[in-house]
Amino acid sequence: MAFPAYLATQVGYIIALAQLNNPTSAAQTMPIGTGPFKYSSWEPNDHFTVVKNPDYWRSGLPYLDTVTFKPIVEDESRENSLKSNTIDLMVSHDPGIIRDLRDSSSYQQVTDLYSTVGEPDMDFICLNCETGPTSDLTVRQALAYATNPEEVVKLFGDGVLTVNTSLYPPGSIYRPADNGYPKFNLAKAKELVAKAAPNHGGSISIQLIDIPDPRQALIIQALQSMWQAAGMTVSLNQIQQVTYIDQLVGGQFQAAADEQFASPDPDLNYVWLSPTTANPPIALNFARNKDPRIETALQQGRTHSDKSARVEAYQTVDKLLAEDLPYLWFSRAPWSITGNTTVQNFANPILPDGTKGLGFAGGVFSPTQIWMKA
């Protein structure tokens, strides 16, 4: 069932033999593909420019002659660049910026907040189920009861985010009516901390890691305060993204603020959720949750073409995640793409057979059918 979705990932990319056989560094810096645009130039940290591919197999496309991608790291700089007409189109992940640009008539915006293809990205805390205090289910339960997602969303959602304590967003067929995820209950959290503490030397100390982002810093400070209110000792560590990823993959963390799981079909998340990928040295199941029931459900979803069987399988996955608690959910992590009014058709791709393609998911969009209004 998920095969077409897999084909739209790296699995489906056709790479030229000439590139694979090229022993020089040009093979890595000058890609050869089958897409609508051809490589033109790349200046690391500055721009990547592509030009129209005259031999593109879909006649009449693309409409644009040149597209320049600029890596503007800071969200505010990107927003200012759009507002000053320095750029035409920008991707953003920041709820405050999504709100600002959404409410302005000078721009047009597409977000995955209200409709999405499959599952959107989720904001959550990833807990290491293999080592440290978070390997104890009672500690994970204490953390879940001590976390108030409503408060987090109220403080940092900028009026854009809504609470989501499930792997799936509201309206998804895979979302069970009640997955059993723990609701905020400080008294219960304190009770669980008292129960678990003797097994951890008398007190529970958690280190929460995150990337060095100002908004994230505030979020993890709020979590620190919530968890400490339940009687745990919490230290924060904001580390560079490459180190952060190393620690997630290598399992050298206890709790990590994370976002993940955008996929057009739930089977594409198999690699992140399956116990088969929770083993060293490189565990893509970062939480290392090895519940065999999850594997059974994932296999059921993967091997059945019957819709109801798949729905049942992925609802079971969600319920088991709420029981095992490898993830503490908060809300959806929204993506948006905003353009000035001259940029047309940036979320309405039409497939070669005339059907409508997937417009915008997980921050990814296709520039093939964009045109600019004079």
Kindly identify the residues of this chain, within the stretch 80-109, that bind another protein according to CB under 8 A: 80-81, 83-87
Cα angle value 197/199/202 (rounded, 5°): 45
Contacts of 344 (CB under 8 A, 6+ apart): 370, 371, 372, 373
Does position 28 interact with another protein (CB under 8 A)? The reply is yes
| Residue number, 97 or 232, with CB nearest to another protein | 97
C-alpha pair distances (Å), 78 with each of 46, 74, 98, 345, 349:
13, 6, 12, 21, 25
- The 8 Å CB, 24+ separation contacts for 157-160 are 157/95, 157/331, 158/95, 158/96, 158/98, 158/99, 159/95, 159/99, 160/95, 160/96, 160/98, 160/99, 160/102, 160/113, 160/334
Least spacing, CB of residue 71 vs another protein, in Å: 8
- Residue ranges with strand state E in the chain: 37-43, 47-52, 66-69, 89-92, 107-111, 122-127, 205-210, 233-238, 255-260, 327-332, 336-340, 343-344, 371-372
25 near another protein, rule: CB under 8 A: yes
Question: Is 285 in contact with 272 (CB distance < 8 Å)?
Answer: yes
CB of 195 to another protein, least distance (A): 39
Residue 45 binds another protein (CB under 8 A): yes
User: Pick from 9, 34, 66, 77: which binds another protein (CB under 8 A)?
Assistant: 77
Which residue in the set 14, 43, 355, 356 belongs to the binding site for another protein (CB under 8 A)?
43
70 forms part of the interface with another protein (CB under 8 A): yes
Question: Looking at 9, 12, 15, 29, which residue binds another protein (CB under 8 A)?
Answer: 29
Which is nearer to another protein, 77 or 205 (by Cβ)? 77
**Dihedral, CA atoms, 171, 177, 181, 186, nearest 10 degrees?**
100
By CB under 8 A, residue 235 contacts another protein: no
Q: Which stretch binds another protein (CB under 8 A): 59-67, 73-81, 173-181, 315-323?
A: 73-81
Interface region with another protein, contact rule CB under 8 A, candidates 65-73, 268-276, 292-300, 343-351: 65-73
Among 12, 46, 183, 341, binds another protein (CB under 8 A): 46
Which CB sits closer to another protein, 74 or 306?
74
Q: Which stretch binds another protein (CB under 8 A): 76-84, 91-99, 161-169, 173-181?
A: 76-84
Amino acid at 132: G
Picking from 234, 213, 220, 314, the residue whose alpha carbon sits closest to that of residue 270 is: 314
Give residue 6's Cα distance to chain centre. 17
Residue 70, SS3 per DSSP: coil
Residue 18 is a binding residue for another protein (CB under 8 A): no
CB closer to another protein, 93 vs 188: 93
Number of residues that bind another protein (CB under 8 A): 24
74 makes contact with another protein (CB under 8 A): yes
Q: Which stretch binds another protein (CB under 8 A): 41-49, 188-196, 266-274, 331-339?
A: 41-49
Residues that bind another protein (CB under 8 A): 25, 28-29, 43-46, 70, 72-74, 77-78, 80-81, 83-87, 240-243
